């Protein structure tokens, strides 16, 4: 089992005896509402999941997209038809950031078989529909802890003792610009590793060997302890997925910069140097 699936593979599995549950997680910061895009056309049988409402808790001191309350997340997934013994495939309309967030949450919560449609909706060549399905209630019960999770103190420690990757754009890492959060810059010791460098021009992930080479150039080895953060824990989930494709386990700092930067007592580094 891999963490991603091609459009051709998904079409084959969807027509088979054990079709996966399909989750449409379309979302874009500052873009059109994902649900409206879903209602205008989606993969047959796909259920819309809202990143802001179902894949995150209310924004606040813990960040713009803190982890959802476990019971609420489980209930949302069951409403979407997710069961423990049935595979799940998530997709979105962009570079799979939101789909990767759904992937990470389900894997972290103990689901054994979750993948992301490589290339998202743009890579899908099969039919789309406007029919809204009514899925049978699933039986998925979250059991958190299957993937690594960092809090602010854990992220700070990993930046000193291991490798903490910053998945935001390089200019936000340096602190040249900060369009959203209280202050620009990065966690001292973190390395700049923009998520956009994990994908090809078509929005699909780079081959595993190319991703492995990319992370090796950042100092990631088979023995490295690795963590990832971004602005609010969305694009960082995409980087954790890219690391997974490369065969490298990594932890997610879910609060990310939107949590870190709310506390004026936490140190901030600026410029291209990690420190």
Residue 149: CA count within 13 A, CB half-sphere: 13
Look up tokens 């953060």; give the residue. 229
Catalytic residues: 230
CA-based torsion, 87, 88, 94, 95: positive or negative: negative
Q: Does the CA dihedral 86-35-33-40 come out positive or negative?
A: positive
Strand ranges (DSSP E) for the chain?
4-5, 21-24, 47-48, 88-91, 114-117, 149-150, 163-166, 191-192, 226-229, 251-253
Q: Which residues pair with 74 in a beta bridge?
A: none
CA-nearest of 259, 260, 252 to 101 is 252
């Amino acid at each position: 089992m891999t963490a991603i699936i091609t459009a051709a593979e998904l079409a084959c599995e969807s027509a088979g005896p054990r079709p996966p549950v399909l989750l449409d997680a379309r979302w874009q910061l500052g873009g059109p509402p994902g649900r409206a895009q879903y209602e205008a056309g989606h993969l047959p049988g796909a259920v819309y999941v809202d990143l802001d409402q179902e894949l995150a808790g209310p924004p606040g001191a813990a960040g713009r997209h803190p982890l959802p309350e476990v019971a609420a997340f489980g209930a949302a997934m069951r409403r979407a038809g997710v069961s423990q013994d049935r595979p799940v495939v998530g997709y979105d309309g962009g570079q799979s950031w939101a789909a990767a967030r759904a992937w990470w949450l389900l894997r972290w919560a103990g689901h054994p078989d979750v993948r992301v449609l490589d290339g998202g909706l743009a890579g899908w060549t099969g039919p789309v529909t406007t029919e809204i399905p009514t899925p049978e209630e699933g039986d998925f019960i979250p059991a958190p802890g299957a993937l690594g999770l960092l809090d602010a103190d854990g992220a700070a420690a990993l930046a000193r003792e291991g490798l903490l990757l910053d998945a935001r754009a390089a200019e936000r890492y340096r602190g040249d610009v900060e369009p959203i959060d209280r202050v620009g810059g990065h966690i001292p010791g973190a390395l700049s590793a923009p998520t956009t460098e994990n994908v090809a021009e078509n929005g699909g992930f780079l081959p595993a060997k190319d991703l492995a080479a990319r992370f090796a150039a950042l100092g990631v080895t088979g023995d490295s302890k690795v963590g990832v953060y971004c602005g609010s824990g969305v694009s960082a989930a995409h980087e954790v997925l890219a690391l997974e494709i490369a065969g490298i386990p990594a932890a997610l700092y879910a609060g990310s910069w939107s949590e870190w930067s709310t506390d004026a007592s936490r140190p901030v580094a600026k410029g291209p140097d990690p420190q």
